[in-house]
């Protein structure tokens, strides 16, 4: 697809109004193609003018406007000349299924050979399925008909009715943006239920039917509670009819909020016993996508520069709902350690951008802004807005906004006007400070004239942000102080604060977007104090401070590792212990240390995991994340080989195939397992998950032949989107002796070959591949030089450029850490 520029979209929107779509899809043919027929009715405000429609087909058998044949499309654009006041566009042809997660994605389940199809029309993928005017502000009702094999389940945005064997008619939808349109079809296993007059259904591949049945009650309970909560909060009933949730293979994102038919990556149907953190994350994603049914679907952004109207709000509501009604009061802590650390990294990097109103002159540039800023920073800023305005005023503004723009489009200005009217506060000034700036303030404790103070250090020029926060102090396993504050100056006196006598935690309830630097006394006593601090949010803020301190190169990774070794084995909450363990392995003990120190540091992480595991009951779900960390870091060959055989595992993991793959992957990366061992485990796990684990383990083998095979498959485009990301993410593993020498020649090849694979994998998938494969583990100036050469070349798509920029920033920070904290 060519870029769609904002000025082109605005001109097209000013010229035409789309009144209806009729789409017919025939999925009955064998092989890699399907047929699609689109009939689009639209009005032109100026007859005699021209515009264009979007379509990406292998072959068009018909393309007519008002009965007049059209010239073939050029670069995905179908020229429409001499428009009448009322127009009918009809396009029919053969289209290609994809393997990159966009358009109509076709996947064959290796477990049973069954075929599954799902539609992903975001961001510019709708023209790969049907001819359309593909931009978010040209909404229209859709009628969709589908022909499929007789034994398939078919669903989409409107209620689906099978009118004859294999023939399905979907009910006419309310006005939809084209990027929401989906059809899911295949021999899916299904569990159905009704709640409050809404027909609910969850679906997964037939080979996952048992797991779906076992987990459907939890999924549907979260769904039902979230519906009740949103009806109460928004004052508008769910407007899209049925509510399907499809857990589909090889999905690029976590989920997509298609009205009435949400698709999720099927890793959310857990193969083994899930951790509490995994259940919490699934609940928050379900609630996030449900919030979109109002904010994003009912009211849609006019152009991609207001994408925050979708994602920030849904992210905030997802965690709020999960904490309020879905039995996870620790949801905000999980967001802090998992999502906010992602957002902080994005916000200090070269690709940072404001939460709202980011320049998006074309649709692909907009894709680069679907990141930790649009999600976690935006959600955190909204949480801070609620803390300032009060919940009642915030919700009144939300209801007014949704009601005023129901089934239409809106902008940031519309949202702010609703908030200002509801609250009577100067929301525009707040937006200027929070939504239209970049970076995070840093909160720390110091002293002025001997008086303890809270110091707020902005990134660069002061943005005038006002923080509604709390400061807490802890000693001897107790909370000894807590101060609520409104911070609107660089220095805020705190004369009674126990600095130097307690662990002092700014932003202790984590209600604002700000990084925290701990004072020296707090850092010194953390190894003895951290695990006993009774407040979950406070411990999460401390762990995040350590992670971010290392990443910002203000904290020696050795000091963070010392705290980890002493405190993490006794961390009471697995909801934060799981993510902290992963980050410790790759931040405290990984790339921010020189090569020669990494083996011992990783060994200390493994020892901490062993101690934590020894202190847990065999059936405790917390043992799952701990065992995974141990499998990823230990060099205990006997333990890894035993676990790879499925022996001597904690009881909660006794039948867990994923832990076997984790152990085998580590053996492969250490040079202790070959392709025969991988093939043997693969034969016992003939699933898509097993296939992905096998290609990842194969790419980690530290031999010249194995690396060449993996590389050839990756750059030769012989892989699916998921396979490519897994190969890229495993390739630059330096665990085995001699790996550096083996991998260094591939650094140059990475920057010249991988970022140019969008033709093979699509822009969305390529972003994940470049991010996963960036050779950060080869932490050397030459790697940075080659990354800069790639950026200077200029021949990169927006997504590939963004990921290389972010990777280069991390690499330079790691190199700075080596230099600043050189071991004595």
Helix (H, G, I), strand (E, B) or coil at 297: coil
The proportion of the chain whose per-residue pLDDT surpasses 70, expressed as a percent, equals 99
Mean pLDDT for all residues in the chain: 95
pLDDT in tens, 760-773: 888 888 999 999 99
What is the C-alpha separation between 614 and 635, in angstroms, rounded? 17
pLDDT in tens, 505-527: 999 999 999 999 999 999 999 99
What confidence score (pLDDT) does residue 307 get?
Answer: 83
Q: Are 376 and 340 in contact (CB under 8 A)?
A: yes
Q: How would residue 544 be classed by pLDDT, with cut points 50, 70 and 90? A: very high
Kind plus residue range of the DSSP H or E element containing 80: strand 77-80
Give the contacts of 332 (CB within 8 A, at least 6 positions apart).
Answer: 319, 323, 510, 537
What confidence score (pLDDT) does residue 23 get?
Answer: 98
Nearest alpha-carbon partner for 47 in 79, 17, 85, 100: 85
User: Within a 13 Å sphere around the CA of 370, how many CA atoms are in the beta-carbon half?
Assistant: 21
The β-bridge relationship of strands 167-170 and 198-204 is unpaired
Lowest mean pLDDT among 108-117, 194-203, 448-457, 770-779: 448-457
Q: How would residue 371 be classed by pLDDT, with cut points 50, 70 and 90? A: confident
Q: Are 212 and 189 in contact (CB under 8 A)?
A: yes
Peptide bond into 123 cis (omega under 30): yes
pLDDT in tens, 289-315: 999 999 999 999 999 888 888 899 999
Handedness of CA 332, 334, 339, 344 (dihedral sign): positive
Has residue 442 got a pLDDT over 70? yes
Residues in the chain: 824
What confidence score (pLDDT) does residue 462 get?
Answer: 57
Nearest alpha-carbon partner for 665 in 726, 597, 577: 726
Please state the rounded mean pLDDT for residues 88-110. Answer: 95
What is the C-alpha separation between 54 and 40, in angstroms, rounded? 12
What is the C-alpha separation between 21 and 510, in angstroms, rounded? 46
Has residue 414 got a pLDDT over 80? yes
What is the C-alpha separation between 119 and 188, in angstroms, rounded? 14
Question: In 293-390, which residue ranges form alpha helices assigned H by DSSP?
Answer: 308-325, 331-334, 341-348, 363-367, 378-389
The β-bridge relationship of strands 16-26 and 142-147 is parallel
Tokens 């259904």 found at: 201
Has residue 461 got a pLDDT over 70? no
Q: 590 is written with which tokens?
A: 């990984």
- Cite the active site residues: 289
Has residue 824 got a pLDDT over 80? no
Q: What is the signed CA dihedral for 313, 314, 319, 324, rounded to 10 degrees?
A: 90
Nearest alpha-carbon partner for 363 in 125, 12, 119: 125
Higher pLDDT, 306 or 57: 57
Tokens 């999925």 found at: 27
User: Residue 491 phi/psi, 5° resolution?
Assistant: -120, 125
Tokens 């609630």 found at: 287
Handedness of CA 372, 373, 379, 384 (dihedral sign): positive
The answer, as to whether pTM is greater than 0.85, is: yes
Question: In 530-621, which residue ranges form alpha helices assigned H by DSSP?
Answer: 536-551, 557-567, 574-583, 598-614
What is the C-alpha separation between 617 and 604, in angstroms, rounded? 22
Nearest alpha-carbon partner for 127 in 160, 93, 154, 155: 93
704 exposed, middle or buried (CB, 10 Å; 0-12, 13-18, 19+)? exposed
Lowest mean pLDDT among 54-63, 115-124, 301-310: 301-310
What is the C-alpha separation between 148 and 168, in angstroms, rounded? 8
Has residue 531 got a pLDDT over 80? yes
What confidence score (pLDDT) does residue 100 get?
Answer: 87
696 exposed, middle or buried (CB, 10 Å; 0-12, 13-18, 19+)? buried
Please state the rounded mean pLDDT for residues 46-66. Answer: 97
Q: Beta-carbon neighbour count of residue 331 at 10 Å? A: 23
In terms of C-beta distances under 8 Å and separation of at least 24 residues, what long-range contacts does 594-599 make, across chains too?
Answer: 594/818, 594/822, 594/823, 595/734, 595/740, 595/779, 597/823, 598/734, 599/635
Please state the rounded mean pLDDT for residues 552-559. Answer: 97
What is the C-alpha separation between 100 and 110, in angstroms, rounded? 17
What is the C-alpha separation between 638 and 667, in angstroms, rounded? 10
Nearest alpha-carbon partner for 556 in 593, 526, 520, 524: 593
Q: Beta-carbon neighbour count of residue 600 at 10 Å? A: 11
Q: How would residue 31 be classed by pLDDT, with cut points 50, 70 and 90? A: confident
Please state the rounded mean pLDDT for residues 656-684. Answer: 97
**DSSP string computed for 787-814:** HHHHHHH----HHHHHHHHHHHHHHHHH
Give the contacts of 596 (CB within 8 A, at least 6 positions apart).
Answer: none
CA 6 to chain centre: 25
CA angle 293, 311, 173 (to 5 degrees): 25
Q: 691 is written with which tokens?
A: 């296939």
Question: In 585-738, which residue ranges form alpha helices assigned H by DSSP?
Answer: 598-614, 622-633, 637-644, 657-669, 675-684, 688-700, 704-715, 721-731
Q: Are 90 and 37 in contact (CB under 8 A)?
A: yes
The proportion of the chain whose per-residue pLDDT surpasses 90, expressed as a percent, equals 89
């Amino acid at each position: 697809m060519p870029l769609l520029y904002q000025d082109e979209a605005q001109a097209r929107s000013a010229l035409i109004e789309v009144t209806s779509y009729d789409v017919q899809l025939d999925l009955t043919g064998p092989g890699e193609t399907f047929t699609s027929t689109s009939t689009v009715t639209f009005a032109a405000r100026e007859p005699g003018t021209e515009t264009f429609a979007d379509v990406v087909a292998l072959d068009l058998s018909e393309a007519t406007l008002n009965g007049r044949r059209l010239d073939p499309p050029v670069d995905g654009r179908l020229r429409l000349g001499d428009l009448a006041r009322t127009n009918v566009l009809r396009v029919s042809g053969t289209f290609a299924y994809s393997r990159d997660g966009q358009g109509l994605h076709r996947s064959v389940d290796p477990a049973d050979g069954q075929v599954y199809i799902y539609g992903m029309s975001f961001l510019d993928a709708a023209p790969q399925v049907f001819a359309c005017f593909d931009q978010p502000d040209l909404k229209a009702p859709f009628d969709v008909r589908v022909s499929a094999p007789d034994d398939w389940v078919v669903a989409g945005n409107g209620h689906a009715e099978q009118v004859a064997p294999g023939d399905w008619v979907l009910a006419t939808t309310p006005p939809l943006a084209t990027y929401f349109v989906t059809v899911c079809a295949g021999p899916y296993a299904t569990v159905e239920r009704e709640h409050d007059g809404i027909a609910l259904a969850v679906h997964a591949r037939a080979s996952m039917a048992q797991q779906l049945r076992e987990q459907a009650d939890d999924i549907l309970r979260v769904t039902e509670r979230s519906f009740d909560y949103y009806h109460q909060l928004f004052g508008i009933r769910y407007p899209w009819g049925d509510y399907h949730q499809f857990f589909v293979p090889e999905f690029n994102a976590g989920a997509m909020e298609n009205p009435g038919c949400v698709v999720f990556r099927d890793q959310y149907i857990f193969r083994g016993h899930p951790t509490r953190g995994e259940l919490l994350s699934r609940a928050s994603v379900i609630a996030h996508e449900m919030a979109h049914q109002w904010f994003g679907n009912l009211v849609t952004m006019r152009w991609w520069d207001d994408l925050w109207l979708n994602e920030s709000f849904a992210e905030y509501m997802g965690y709020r709902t999960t904490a309020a009604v879905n039995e996870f009061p620790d949801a905000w802590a999980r967001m802090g350690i998992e999502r906010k650390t992602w957002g902080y990294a994005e916000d200090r990097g070269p690709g940072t951008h404001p939460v709202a109103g980011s320049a998006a002159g074309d649709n692909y540039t907009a894709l680069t802004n679907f990141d930790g800023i649009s999600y976690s920073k935006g959600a955190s800023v909204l949480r801070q807005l609620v803390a300032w305005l009060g919940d009642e005023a915030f919700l009144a503004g939300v209801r007014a906004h949704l009601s005023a723009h129901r089934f239409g489009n809106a902008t940031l200005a519309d949202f702010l006007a609703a908030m200002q009217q509801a609250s009577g506060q100067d929301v525009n000034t707040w937006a200027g400070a929070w939504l239209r700036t970049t970076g995070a303030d840093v909160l720390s404790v110091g002293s002025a004239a001997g008086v303890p103070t809270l110091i707020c250090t902005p990134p660069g020029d002061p943005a005038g942000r006002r923080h509604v926060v709390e400061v807490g102090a802890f000693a001897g396993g107790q909370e000894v102080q807590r101060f609520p504050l409104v911070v609107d100056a660089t220095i805020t006196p705190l004369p009674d604060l126990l600095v130097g006598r307690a662990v002092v935690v700014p932003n202790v309830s984590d209600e604002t977007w700000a990084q925290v630097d701990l004072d020296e006394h707090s850092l010194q006593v953390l190894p003895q104090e951290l695990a006993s601090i009774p407040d979950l949010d406070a411990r999460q803020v401390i762990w995040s401070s350590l992670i971010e301190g290392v990443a910002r190169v203000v904290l020696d990774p050795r000091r963070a590792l010392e705290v980890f070794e002493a405190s993490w084995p006794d961390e009471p909450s697995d909801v934060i212990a799981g993510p902290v363990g992963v980050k410790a392995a790759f931040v405290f003990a990984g790339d921010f240390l020189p090569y020669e120190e990494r083996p011992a540091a990783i060994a200390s992480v493994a020892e901490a995991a062993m101690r934590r595991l020894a202190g847990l009951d065999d059936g405790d779900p917390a043992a799952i994340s701990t065992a995974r960390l141990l499998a990823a870091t230990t060099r205990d060959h006997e333990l890894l080989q035993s676990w790879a055989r499925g022996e001597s595992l904690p009881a909660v993991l006794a039948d867990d195939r994923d832990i076997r793959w984790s152990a085998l992957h580590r053996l492969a990366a250490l040079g202790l397992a070959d392709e025969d061992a991988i093939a043997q485990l693969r034969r016992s796990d003939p699933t898509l998950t097993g296939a992905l684990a096998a290609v990842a383990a194969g790419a980690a083998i530290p031999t010249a032949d194995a690396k060449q095979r993996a590389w050839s498959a990756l750059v030769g485009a012989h892989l699916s989107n998921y396979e490519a990301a897994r190969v890229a993410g495993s390739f630059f593993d330096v665990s085995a002796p001699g790996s550096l020498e083996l991998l260094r020649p591939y650094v140059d090849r990475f920057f010249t070959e991988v970022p140019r694979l969008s033709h093979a994998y699509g822009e969305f998938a390529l972003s994940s591949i470049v991010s996963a494969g960036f050779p950060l583990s080869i932490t050397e100036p030459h790697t940075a030089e080659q990354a800069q050469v790639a950026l200077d070349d200029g021949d990169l798509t927006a997504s590939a450029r963004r990921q290389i920029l972010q990777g280069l920033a991390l690499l330079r920070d790691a190199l700075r850490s080596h230099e600043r904290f050189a071991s004595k």
